[in-house]
Amino acid sequence: MCTSRHLESSPAMGKTIVQMSRKLWLLMIIGACLIVAQYQLASVWLVTAPSTISYEHQSAPVTSASVQAIVNKLQLDTSIVNTVGEKVLREIALQMGQQMLEVCEVPPLSHRHSSKPSVQSNAFQFLPPLYIITPTYRRPEQVPELTRLAQTLMHVPNLHWLVIEDAHNQTTQVTELLQRTGIRFEHLVAPMPESYKKKKGSKPRGVSNRNKGLQWLRANATDGVFYFADDDNTYDIALFSEMRFTRKVSMWPVGLCTKFGISTPVIHNGTFFGFYDGWMAGRKFPVDMASFAVSVQFLHERPDAIMPFKPGFEEDGFLRSLSPFDPKDIEFKAENCTKILVWHTQTKKNEPAAKLDIAKYNNTNLVKLRSLIV
Ligand code: UGA
Ligand code: MN
């Protein structure tokens, strides 16, 4: 009561208080925006401890639309706009948004040739690099498989993708796809030797590709970790945090693998007990290709390590070639092999597409589309 009477008796003072409360409101809104912005930026910098499962960066997607929404929200309160001026507000919101976009946003399709997604920026060079070796070959499913894998790997910082085709020449569609991702990559070729190609029965799939990857690492990599990631598997991005700090060889379970539905090391009371896999076949390391990662340094110390052209025994042969290396040396990841972070998914095979009736469809979009597919 006393206050209102005071206000009534002093209109100038009343105006000042109203102005002050508007400024207070403004400060609060800007403060809130800054907190949101800081959260967005900070979350991108989240780096996991080596032994825990979590995502290397978890941030709500920030888009041009969300920046525009901030600008619009600030404009809604006309009293604020009147007090500070639309231009200043717009400037603040846009500058904040710009910073957020630079850190978070994957560039639109039309710009992806030149720009890189944030996770590939220099900001993450303090992490040991991950070298992902992917064998691939030309078939109707190749581009869709690589698209899915690329868009998984685009979430992983400080990654170098070695895409190695079982072919004599690079496939243009693959090169174009790789360029659009913004991922640091090498596009190499390593055809399966003719002698194996001609052989009846199961073939050593992806072996010449993976050995080419090892050769590239020996010549170009000094530190970090490498992983053989087939183009058709499904990967949880948390897997890449798990393998990042591998000292020698790390391992984890693989889902959808063999008749057991899973292939994994067995851990009893925290120590190695054996392997669980639907196809043991006398292997010392009865595991899937997707189940282990190796330190680059460890590879350098084993100049003879190589993958054999032996269908079904590629993993075992390679891991044996890392000698001296025994199951007791394995670093178990994915919470002591209790989580599944990769699946041996297999895509249904498709027949090559029918020939296009050029007489009928000349000068239509079908000509371009048909050139893209197998
Ligand atoms: C399973 C394992 O997961 C593979 O790592 C292993 O190489 C293979 O068995 C084997 O022992 O032969 P699977 O799903 O049966 O894999 O094989 P694919 O996915 O067909 O091939 C494995 C990788 O090699 C893929 O990335 C694929 O693109 C590539 N590949 C396949 C070639 O480069 N050339 C081929 O002719 C076939
Ligand atoms: Mn496969």
| First-to-last C-alpha distance (Å) of the chain | 83
Model confidence over 306-361: pLDDT tens digits? 999 999 999 999 999 999 999 999 999 999 999 999 999 999 999 999 999 999 99
Atom from ligand 1 closest to the CA of residue 229: 26
Model confidence over 273-312: pLDDT tens digits? 999 999 999 999 999 999 999 999 999 999 999 999 999 9
Identify which of 107, 109, 95 has the alpha carbon closest to the alpha carbon of residue 30.
95
pTM of the model: 0.76
Atom from ligand 1 closest to the CA of residue 145: 28
**Confidence tier at 54 by pLDDT (50, 70, 90):** very low
Q: Is 25 in the pocket of ligand 1 (CB under 6 A)?
A: no
Model confidence over 68-121: pLDDT tens digits? 565 465 555 556 556 666 666 556 655 665 555 445 445 555 555 444 555 777
Measured by CA distance, the residue closest to atom 3 of ligand 1 is 289
Identify which of 225, 207, 197, 178 has the alpha carbon closest to the alpha carbon of residue 289.
207
Identify which of 260, 232, 228 has the alpha carbon closest to the alpha carbon of residue 345.
232
Q: Is 230 in the pocket of ligand 1 (CB under 6 A)?
A: yes
Structure token pair of residue 285: 């390391």
What is the CA(268)–ligand 1 centre distance, in A? 31
Ligand 1: which of 134, 145, 196, 230 to mutate, most ligand atoms within 8 Å of CB?
230
High-pLDDT (> 70) share of the chain, %: 68
What is the CA(214)–ligand 1 centre distance, in A? 17
Atom from ligand 1 closest to the CA of residue 231: 26
What is the CA(80)–ligand 2 centre distance, in A? 59
Model confidence over 217-265: pLDDT tens digits? 999 999 999 999 999 999 999 999 999 999 999 999 999 999 999 999 9
